[in-house]
Amino acid sequence: MKTMNWAIIGCGDVTEVKSGPAFQKVPGSKLVSVMRRDAGRAESYAQRHGVDRWTTDANEILESGDIDAVYIATHPNTHAEYTIRAAEAGKAVYVEKPMAVNPSECREMIEACNRAGLSLWTAYYRRALPRFEQVRALIADGAIGAVRVVNSIRFQGYREGAWQNQPGLSGGGWFFDSACHTLDWLDLVFGPLEDVQGSATSSGQSANEDTVVATFRFAGGVLGSGTWCYDSQFDEDRMTIVGVEGSLVISLSAPLPIELRRGNHVELLDVEDPQTVHQPLVQTIVDEWNGVGSCPSTGHTALRTAEVLDTLLSDVRPGLTGR
């Protein structure tokens, strides 16, 4: 197995535990350089995570001959720029979610990587997380019979000062930043979302959407719906998958036990998340790099999610949408 040498552009909070350590933990993977505009924070990150090099200049990473792939963990407003630059520099790309601020940018990123003959992966890590893979296996094994309907609910209080509420950085609000995980995972389990319809509003505390309702269907006949409110007085996160013989309930944001209900019997299945939740997905990337597997989260799958988001948010952010 050949070693896949990585660099990070944008080593902020998400890279501390959720993603960054994965590049050191996965066999055949090594994090060799990190970039952040703040020199002190870049140096501190490198020292704390055992990384040989750090820089404040992305060009140093893009021009380095010993780097095979770049993990782009900046805000969504720069994902397209850095992805295109990395592809032109001959680096494969693993980009944070949401993939970009609109579908047009996603397509440009895909085209740039295709021209360079390089892979583009996206950080929808639930596509490989064991807890979610257990749910997929239960559905595939017929634990709840044929699935008929899926419903997702997410309520969360308004978070003052969060970057997710800054349109110039985020491309949307909390729905855009977090509900994309839900929509992307449903795409994996049941196929592309079709006949997507919905409404989005803003309470006025944020310039972005904070309340969204949606309906959709899948080619196999499963129907879906969702309600998201990020201006609530309480937190709730629940996805319910209903089949003809039972149901499954899972939290998208918290490592809670899976609830399997059949008749009057309820079983709680506890599948622990790894400390570094990106690690299983990064493993699939390294496997693909070595020709022994494939990553389930690509630029093309993320584009489908971007198009769903674009449809649902077209009324509240017309300046950022782009089909």
pLDDT higher than threshold 60 for residue 39: yes
Helical residues (DSSP H) of the chain, grouped into ranges: 22-25, 39-49, 58-62, 79-88, 103-116, 130-140, 167-170, 174, 180-190, 279-289, 299-313
pLDDT score for 192: 97
Counting residues of the chain whose pLDDT is more than 90, the rounded percentage is 85
Across 16-35, b (16+ Cβ under 10 Å) vs e yields eebbbbbbebbeebebbbbb
Fold of 4-126+278-296: Rossmann fold (3.40.50)
Residue among 173, 178, 236, 166 nearest 200 (CA): 173
- CATH classification code of 130-273: 3.30.360.10
pLDDT score for 150: 98
pLDDT score for 108: 98
157 or 31: which leads in pLDDT: 31
Write down the pTM of the prediction. Answer: 0.95
How far, in Å, are 142, 181, 306 from residue 303 at the CA level? 30, 13, 5
User: What SS3 class is residue 102?
Assistant: coil
Burial bucket for residue 60 (CB in 10 Å: 0-12, 13-18, 19+): middle
Domain-by-domain residue ranges, the chain? 4-126+278-296, 130-273
Give the pLDDT band of residue 55 (cuts 50, 70, 90): very high
Query: What is the C-alpha to C-alpha distance for residues 152 and 190, in angstroms, rounded to an integer?
Result: 14
41 or 322: which leads in pLDDT: 41
pLDDT score for 234: 87
When mean pLDDT is compared across 64-68, 204-208, 266-270, the lowest value belongs to: 204-208
pLDDT in tens, 168-227: 777 788 899 999 999 999 999 999 999 999 999 987 666 678 899 999 999 889 999 999
- Please, what is the angle between helix 130-140 and helix 180-190, to 10°? 40
pLDDT score for 167: 66
pLDDT higher than threshold 90 for residue 244: yes
pLDDT higher than threshold 60 for residue 321: no
End-to-end CA distance of the chain: 40
Give the pLDDT band of residue 323 (cuts 50, 70, 90): very low
pLDDT score for 207: 67
**What tokens appear for 210 in the block?**
């904070």
pLDDT higher than threshold 90 for residue 314: no
pLDDT score for 233: 87
Query: What is the C-alpha to C-alpha distance for residues 7 and 266, in angstroms, rounded to an integer?
Result: 45
pLDDT score for 318: 56
pLDDT in tens, 75-107: 999 999 999 999 999 999 999 999 999 999 999
pLDDT in tens, 130-176: 999 999 999 999 999 999 999 999 999 877 667 676 667 777 888 99
pLDDT score for 163: 67
